[in-house]
Amino acid sequence: MKRVQYSSRGPVPQDVVEVVGFDMPPLGPGQVLVRVMAAPINPSDLLTITGQYGVLPPLPAVPGNEGAGQVVETGPGVAGLKPGQPVLLPVGAGSWATHMVADASLLLPLPENADLRQMSMLAINPPTAQLLLSEFVDLQPGEWIIQNAANSAVGGYITQIAKNRGIKTVNIVRRSSAEASVLENSGDVVLVDGDDLPGRVRRLSGAFKIRLGIDAVGGESTGRLAACLARGGTLINYGAMSGQACRIPPSEFIFRDISLRGFWLSRWFSQAGPQRQLELFTDLMGQITAGKLKARILATFGIGQIREALAAAAAGDRDGKILIEP
Active site residues: 53
Measured CA to CA, the distance from residue 136 to residue 68 in angstroms comes to 30
Long-range contacts of 306-315 (CB under 8 A, 24+ apart): 306/4, 306/14, 306/17, 306/19, 306/96, 307/14, 307/17, 308/14, 309/41, 310/13, 310/14, 310/17, 310/41, 310/46, 310/49, 311/14, 313/41, 313/45, 313/46, 314/13, 314/14, 314/46
* Contact partners, residue 247, CB within 8 Å, separation at least 6: 218, 219, 220, 222, 223
C-beta separation of 174 from 155 below 8 A: no
